[in-house]
């Protein structure tokens, strides 16, 4: 539980000022719960859609993510990229 709280704080701190959504993206909760369980949470806006998709593919089995969860995580990453207007590599 402590690790989850630490990860929530880290992810929140990584968001640009004013980026807090009144209704957080549904994929964010999944990202924190599944991905943050084993490692630090990376800012999805810093990765291209293709890079993020490749990491999701690599982690799907290990994290026991179904195709709907993968889609939600990809959508969350796309939304993060759009929110920050981050250029894709």
Q: How do the domains of the chain map onto residue ranges?
A: 2-16+26-84
What's the pLDDT score for residue 6? 55
Q: Which of 25, 26, 81 is nearest to 53 (CA)?
A: 81
Interior/surface letters 40-75, b for 16+ CB within 10 angstroms, e for the rest: ebebbbebeeeebeeebeebeeebebeeebbebbbe
0.85 surpassed by pTM: no
What's the pLDDT score for residue 69? 95
Mind listing the pLDDT tens digit of every residue in the chain (89 residues)?
A: 556 545 544 555 445 444 555 578 889 999 999 999 999 999 999 999 999 999 999 999 999 999 999 999 999 999 999 988 745 55
Are the C-beta atoms of residues 79 and 44 closer than 8 Å to each other? Answer: no
């Amino acid at each position: 539980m402590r690790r989850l709280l630490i990860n929530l704080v880290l992810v929140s701190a990584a968001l640009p000022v004013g980026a807090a959504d009144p209704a957080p993206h549904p994929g964010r909760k999944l990202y924190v719960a599944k991905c943050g369980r084993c490692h630090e949470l990376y800012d999805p806006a810093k990765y291209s859609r293709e890079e993020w998709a490749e990491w999701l593919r690599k982690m799907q089995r290990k994290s026991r993510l179904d195709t709907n969860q993968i889609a939600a995580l990809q959508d969350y990453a796309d939304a993060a990229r759009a929110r920050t207007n981050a250029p894709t590599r």
